[in-house]
């Protein structure tokens, strides 16, 4: 069956209620609720998360972490998913970014110039890479930045914006090509 036929069949299914509309509705409700404010992150923490995640995954020819609302997903995980001590660890790590920002350029992270912010993130990225290289019994707890980098990636690529516009994720590929050519460098739009 080709993709068009599959889509036709799916459209017919949707009319009969076979696509779980309730799940889509749940997503919309969640979205609206979160739009009114964060449940764990205070406005400053939220602004810091937005600045950090959007520096890690900025808007380029596709939207970045901010447009993908990665901050809202992080707030949801902090509110409902992580254990209490992990939440504390994460928020302490987040506050630590401002401490480093003050040491480095005398301001909160969000008030730094893009250059200030990139300099700090470069340092954090190097530290995370060094931590990864250390033997497991020698290194301390996972740096906040490494955890943030993972959740930024995950939150972005599992968002509709990240999946559809950046990854070109297709819910229904419609065919299997076992050995498809890819461009040697950046994929074109």
Partner 1 sequence: MPKVYDAIVVGSGMTGGWAAKELSEAGLATLVLEAGRMVTLSDYVEHVPPWQVRFRGLDDHRTRSATQPIQKECYACDEWSSKFFVNDHENPYTTPEDKPFLFLRGRQVGGRSIMWGRQVYRWSDLDFEANLRDGIAIDWPIRYKDIEPWYDHVERFIGISGEKLGLPQLPDGQFLKPMDLNCGEVVVRDAVAKHWPGERVVTIGRCAILTEDHLGRAACHYCGYCERGCVTRSYFNSINATLPVAQATGKMTLRPHSVVHSLIYDNKRNRVAGVRVIDGVTKHAIEFRARVVFLCASTLESARILLNSKTREFPAGLANSSGELGHNLMDHIMGGGANGKINAPADRNDFGRRPNGIYVPRFRNLSGGPKSKFLRGYGFQGGAGREGWGRGSDLPGFGADWKHALRDPGQWGFGFYGFGECLPNHDNYVEIDPHTVDAWGIPALRINCAYSENEKALMQDASIAAAEMLAAAGAWDISPYVELNPPGKAIHEMGTARMGRDPKTSVLNAHNQAHDIPNLFVTDGACMASSANQNPSITYMALTARACAHAVDLMKRREI
Q: How far apart are CA 54 and CA 56, in angstroms?
A: 5
Shortest distance (Å) from residue 8 CB to partner 1: 10
Distance between CA atoms of residues 12 and 88, nearest Å: 48
List contacts with partner 1 (CB under 8 A). 1, 3, 5-6, 9-10, 13, 16-20, 23-24, 26-27, 30, 55-58, 60, 64, 73, 76-77, 80-81, 118, 121, 125-126, 129, 132, 146, 149-150, 153-155, 157-160, 163, 166-167, 169, 171-187
Question: Given the complex with partner 1, which of 113 and 160 has the nearer CB atom?
Answer: 160
Contact 54, 65 (CB under 8 A): yes
Report the nearest approach of partner 1 to the CB of residue 111 (Å). 19
Structure tokens at 148: 């943030």
Q: How far is the CB of 46 from partner 1 (least distance, A)?
A: 19
Taking the least distance from each CB to partner 1, the nearer of 6 and 91 is: 6
The residue (of 43 and 138) whose beta carbon lies closer to partner 1 is 138
Instruction: Give dist(CA 166, CA 16) in Å, integer.
Output: 32
- Least CB distance to partner 1 at residue 40 (A): 15
Q: Based on CB atoms, which residue is closest to partner 1, 43 or 176?
A: 176
**Nearest to partner 1 of 41, 52 (CB atom):** 52
CA distance 56 to 74: 14
67 touches 59 (CB < 8 A): yes
Q: What residues contact 189, with CB distance under 8 A and at least 6 apart?
A: 61
């Amino acid at each position: 069956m080709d993709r068009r036929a599959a889509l036709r069949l799916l459209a017919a299914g949707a009319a009969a209620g076979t696509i779980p509309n309730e799940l889509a509705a749940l997503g919309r409700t969640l979205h609206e609720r979160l739009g009114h404010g964060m449940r764990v992150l205070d406005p400053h923490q939220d602004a810091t998360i937005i600045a950090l995640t959007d520096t890690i995954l900025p808007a380029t020819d596709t939207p970045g972490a901010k447009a993908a609302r990665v901050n809202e997903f992080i707030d949801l995980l902090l509110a409902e998913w992580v254990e209490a001590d992990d939440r504390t660890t994460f928020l302490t790590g987040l506050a630590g970014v401002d401490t480093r920002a003050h040491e480095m350029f005398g301001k909160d992270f969000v008030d730094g110039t893009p250059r200030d912010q990139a300099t700090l993130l470069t340092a954090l990225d190097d530290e995370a890479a060094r931590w990864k290289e250390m033997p497991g019994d020698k290194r301390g707890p996972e740096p906040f930045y490494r955890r943030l980098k993972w959740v930024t990636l995950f939150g972005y690529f599992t968002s509709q914006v990240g999946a559809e516009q950046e990854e070109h994720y297709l819910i229904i590929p419609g065919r299997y090509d076992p050995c498809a050519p890819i461009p040697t460098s950046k994929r074109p739009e």
